[in-house]
Amino acid sequence: MLRQVEENKTNKWFRLDNAAKIYPAANTRRWSGMFRLSISLKEKVNPDILQTALEKTIVRFPSFNIRMRRGFFWYYFDSNEKRKPRLRKDVNNPCLPIGWNDDEGFLLRVYYYEKRIAIDYFHSLTDGTGAMVFLKTLTAQYLKQMGKDVSYTDGVLDVTQEADEREFEDAFMKFADSKVKSRVKEEKAYHIKGTKLSHGDISIITGVIPLESIKELAKKNKATITEYLAALLLYSYYQEKLREGLYKKPSHISISIPLNLRNFFDSPTNRNFSLYLNPSIDTMMGEFTLEEIILQIQYFMKSNLNKKTLNAMMTQNVKIEKNIFIRIAPLFIKKLMMSIAHKIFAYRPITASISNIGIVKLPKDMEEYVERIEFLLGAAKNRTPNMAVVSYQDTLVINITSMIEEREIERFFFTHLIKEGVPVKIESNRE
């Protein structure tokens, strides 16, 4: 780790972290591993001031102020400090594929529209936690330049200070030290079929919900919000499986849930530091109720949500990267192998995913200017619906994204919430 810090001080380049390596290999003109975070203010955004705030903020984040480069053995990040990220008006279809020479080489795109500040991130750059720190800091800097007072708390960083080296550490390499290297073998998962949207189009169905009402519903079911929403998403896919045939293979319905490893390992890194757990049901066992699915997810999560198990999973992933034959293979061979592996295996064990950032906290003196926060995942490569969740103050926002015309999953999911007495305001980027 010390060696890499010294390299960063002199050459300002970064090795891709363990979670980041797959995305450049899987990247195509039609698909990139992208996600979006946005903040809606209570007043219209001034684009000129936001552009200035962006230029100041990007310098504060060395691991964001970079561009992708091809080495002989691996992709790597090189400093992009001689260029400036460009602000642009927002688009109807966010999270479009990204190329290494697009957008002045930056691996994020910053948009504005009316009161909204939105950022699309390439997943090699960061995960939801690091991305939220960047968005908070950018928004706070914008408000400061608008003459507002904002404190440097709750994830808002001072853009006039240099970054702490731990903010861009590779936490996977730092903490992956388990003597056990393992990951549970997973079966092929059930996938729904659908009518593909036109290239570049994405379906976004948004549900805006009072936080207290979904808390009460989850509590009534003796579950956390994430457990309940994950179970309901799985149950929504289960309804489709019922129509297609309960005992028809593949029979596993699996929901992927990312975990913020910072909750288990002491790292303030703004790079990727997440793992995924994939609870599932097997429809060969017969019919399931929503209550049974909630219990199934709870049992799975509780048995895996501990530091030792997560370290073993993390170590297994790092072990693959450290394999001598993989290390000495030239990049074009690695890229081919990883591209094939991603195409065949990335979505093989999962039906869909749900990512919940949780409750976002802002500095008290910043809250009065912020109306809403949103999170959405770029459409999956298999095109079917995935879910992103975020809460701010008294509102929870759910975004379900896909690249298919059919909306049965979204319809069943939100209709069920309404039947359970949860008020849901539905929005969409499509007619």
119 in the same domain as 52: yes
208 in the same domain as 166: no
Question: Whole-angstrom Cα distance, residue 199 to residue 201?
Answer: 6
- What local confidence, expressed as pLDDT, does residue 182 receive? 66
Question: Whole-angstrom Cα distance, residue 415 to residue 430?
Answer: 19
User: Above 50 in pLDDT, residue 5?
Assistant: no
Share of the chain above pLDDT 90, in %: 79
Question: Whole-angstrom Cα distance, residue 65 to residue 67?
Answer: 7
pLDDT-derived band at 330, boundaries 50, 70, 90: confident
147 in the same domain as 249: no
Question: Whole-angstrom Cα distance, residue 23 to residue 146?
Answer: 37
Range of the domain at 134: 2-170
Q: Which of the listed residues 155, 170, 185 is the one where a domain comes to its end? A: 170
102 in the same domain as 223: no
355 in the same domain as 220: yes
213 in the same domain as 161: no
382 in the same domain as 258: yes
Tens digits of per-residue pLDDT, 57-82? 999 999 999 999 999 888 899 999 98
306 in the same domain as 211: yes
pLDDT-derived band at 195, boundaries 50, 70, 90: very high
* Number of structural domains in the chain: 2
Q: How many residues does the chain have?
A: 431
Tens digits of per-residue pLDDT, 227-272? 999 999 999 999 999 999 999 999 999 999 999 999 999 999 999 9
User: Above 90 in pLDDT, residue 1?
Assistant: no
- Torsional sign, CA 90, 95, 97, 101: positive
User: Above 60 in pLDDT, residue 6?
Assistant: no
User: Above 80 in pLDDT, residue 185?
Assistant: no
Average pLDDT over all residues of the chain? 93
Q: Which of the listed residues 120, 150, 170 is the one where a domain comes to its end? A: 170
Q: Residue 85: is the preceding peptide bond cis (ω within 30°)?
A: no
| CATH number of the CATH domain containing 410 | 3.30.559.30
Question: Whole-angstrom Cα distance, residue 158 to residue 9?
Answer: 20
Question: Whole-angstrom Cα distance, residue 252 to residue 293?
Answer: 12
Strand-pairing partners, residue 252, are: 189, 282
Confirm whether 229 is domain-assigned.
yes
Tens digits of per-residue pLDDT, 361-402? 999 999 999 999 999 999 888 889 999 999 999 999 999 999
User: Above 60 in pLDDT, residue 3?
Assistant: no
Under DSSP, the state recorded for 337 is H
The least confident of 5-14, 127-136, 279-288, 422-431 is: 5-14
